Chains A and B, each alone.
Chain A
């Protein structure tokens, strides 16, 4: 008797479990759908904002703003190019280009530290 009862209980549990799984599946589907809608909304908002940025950066609009603010930019009549030449560094700091310093463990040739190359000015 008890065995039969337990058997029935098992069968019923299995069926209940199956039904619960299906219900959870459907509930999860609704949640996924909801999240997807939110994601699509965010994508659309991003597109709207990118459009707004493109509009705000449009040359016509910027020019009109400069004109309204009376910012009278002129084309340069004289163009100067100044080449900046870095000064020679001190001898103690000099490193010949292309060499690497040997780091700790000098006697272990396979241990070397990579150093950034410096070029002589």
Chain B
């Protein structure tokens, strides 16, 4: 018998099947040395393992699907916050006044620091950043995952920290506000806090326009944490902050601050303020306060230096308020230019009150009352006008209400209604006592006379633009027309011109440029009540040139000494600033010599 045929024969023989066994249809090895039981056991094991794998798959892919997908998302997905750039602030000629630059901020991860490392790192960083060593050690011992050490430091400090190459100390760039002109316009522009939010001045008022909107980029990252730009899923772009274009002229601002600073220093004033405006539309060309500060080094100056005195400080305007009284009386027809007033030789008893003039005057006409600044004459003019009408014109000229200028912190001043006036109020208010006003209110009132009778709301913002120069917001002029008749305004301009030519304002005369203005020397109120005889607020308010005013200005010095007259201390500031400002703006003084000269044209033309 052949072996092959025997093997084939046996293969063909049916093996006895085990009915219940799942393996009954599997071919069985013939004459195998391995026992069937072992094979069976192995098979069970393999199937069991596969069952385990299948079970684990079900758990991972179905039962724990959400949890694991979440973990994967957290690992792979990346949400990047796109910080918007804070808007810039420009002057009227688009010169940068405020900008944001990237500077390093230093952070640490104390949780990952070893015990010995803490002390070494603290010593290194205290030397680089100028921080207290023991404070740093304390902060590192708290085992937090993130702590700021110092924000917005100098570039050199950031480089020095990077050179340490410590994985637990990092440098992250942040934006910081810088002002290239240092203290110029500091009181006006304000400053930003540690998180780049405006805290004072224009930075605060227009913070919502300047700060912009944060954007987000939803993308993926690789195992090293690097962004994979091509796998960006969604982009919400950041909206950069808008830019402010002011009405301020940088050069005129500089002139104003320079001369104010010099006057306050010369006359030992406690403070000073000055504003230059365009009387034809209420645009502010400069606004200065003294003392001031450098917003790039905020901590080096006292906080009192930060306020914008032109809108936050009110004072009794004194003689410059006589303009309101006389203008109101003229407009109502209560007095005429040629009317005469007996100034009682400088002393006038009204009830319990005694009025004084600086010099004893006899009979003065209306113009001379202002030129010589007679208190008694002004009170007599007001008596003809009447209390109600006087109050009406005080309000029409903008006193006792905020001007609405786009700056925070403006105060209203003090103007009481006639129902609250005392028996002597009509002997005080007409020449600027018992009322309190801000510098901006006084100058805005004078502009009514300068421009022929219209009250313009003062404004400092010209427009708001975006990165491409498209106007987002344009300032609309706030106009209150016909406060006084044009002919009355013209008469007042002539009178105020004579104040400068013949009266108390001679120090503000400018050669070749006709100037109109009024001086003020107001007694300060004592803390115990009553008026001081040694502390004064000296002021000068005026405009030029008289016929078609281009600029108006107010200068106020708080408690100057030894001299305290407005004409002496404030008038020269007006003269120096306005003279240079007008030449800068291209105004030709009256003494300009004009000649003609013939020249031969070039052949190349």
Q: Does A84 contact B (CB under 8 A)?
A: yes
Interchain nearest-CB distance for A69 vs B (Å): 17
A54 touches B180 (CB 8 A): yes
Given contacts A33-B229, A50-B99, A59-B254, contact A84 B182 (CB under 8 A): no
Interchain nearest-CB distance for B376 vs A (Å): 40
Q: Does B592 contact A (CB under 8 A)?
A: yes
Q: Which of A76, A79, A83 is in CB contact (< 8 Å) with B596?
A: A83
Residues from chain A with Cβ under 8 Å of B600 in the complex: 86-87
Q: Which of A29, A58, A63, A87 is in CB contact (< 8 Å) with B229?
A: A29
Could you give, for residues 90-119 of chain B, a 1 whenever the CB lies within 8 Å of some chain A CB and a 0 otherwise?
Answer: 000001100111100000000000000000
- State the CA gap A32–B222 with chains docked (Å): 15
Could you give, for residues 578-605 of chain B, a 1 whenever the CB lies within 8 Å of some chain A CB and a 0 otherwise?
Answer: 0110010000110111111111110000
Q: Does A60 contact B (CB under 8 A)?
A: yes
Q: Does A3 contact B (CB under 8 A)?
A: no
Q: Taking CB as reference atom, which chain A residue is nearest B250?
A: A59
Interchain nearest-CB distance for A93 vs B (Å): 9
Q: Which of B181, B226, B258, B597 is in CB contact (< 8 Å) with A33?
A: B226
Residues from chain B with Cβ under 8 Å of A25 in the complex: 230
Given known contacts A26-B222, A81-B594, A87-B601, what 17 new A-B pairs fall within 8 Å (CB)? Answer: A28-B230, A29-B228, A30-B229, A44-B101, A47-B101, A50-B99, A51-B96, A55-B181, A58-B180, A63-B254, A79-B593, A80-B595, A83-B594, A84-B597, A85-B598, A87-B598, A87-B600
Q: How many residues of A contact B (CB 8 A)?
A: 36
Given contacts A33-B227, A87-B598, A89-B601, contact A79 B592 (CB under 8 A): yes
Could you give, for residues 460-475 of chain B, a 1 whenever the CB lies within 8 Å of some chain A CB and a 0 otherwise?
Answer: 0000000000000000
Q: Does B184 contact A (CB under 8 A)?
A: yes
> 29 A-B pairs, CB-CB below 8 angstroms?
A29-B230, A29-B231, A30-B226, A32-B229, A33-B226, A33-B229, A36-B229, A51-B180, A57-B95, A58-B180, A58-B181, A58-B184, A59-B181, A59-B254, A60-B181, A63-B258, A75-B580, A76-B583, A79-B588, A79-B589, A79-B591, A81-B594, A82-B596, A82-B597, A83-B595, A84-B599, A87-B599, A87-B601, A89-B601
Q: Does B341 contact A (CB under 8 A)?
A: no
Q: Does A117 contact B (CB under 8 A)?
A: no
Q: Does A94 contact B (CB under 8 A)?
A: no
Q: Does B133 contact A (CB under 8 A)?
A: no
Residues from chain A with Cβ under 8 Å of B178 in the complex: 51
A60 touches B101 (CB 8 A): no
Could you give, for residues 129-167 of chain B, a 1 whenever the CB lies within 8 Å of some chain A CB and a 0 otherwise?
Answer: 000000000000000000000000000000000000000
Q: Does A4 contact B (CB under 8 A)?
A: no
Interchain nearest-CB distance for A121 vs B (Å): 8
- State the CA gap A51–B184 with chains docked (Å): 15
Residues from chain B with Cβ under 8 Å of A29 in the complex: 227-231
Residues from chain B with Cβ under 8 Å of A47 in the complex: 99-102
Given contacts A25-B230, A54-B180, contact A85 B101 (CB under 8 A): no
A54 touches B588 (CB 8 A): no
A50 touches B597 (CB 8 A): no
Q: Taking CB as reference atom, which chain A residue is nearest B95?
A: A54
B182 touches A58 (CB 8 A): yes
Q: Which of B96, B226, B228, B593 is in CB contact (< 8 Å) with A54?
A: B96
Q: Does B251 contact A (CB under 8 A)?
A: yes
- State the CA gap A47–B226 with chains docked (Å): 27
A78 touches B591 (CB 8 A): yes
Residues from chain A with Cβ under 8 Å of B598 in the complex: 84-87
Interchain nearest-CB distance for A60 vs B (Å): 6
Q: Does A112 contact B (CB under 8 A)?
A: no
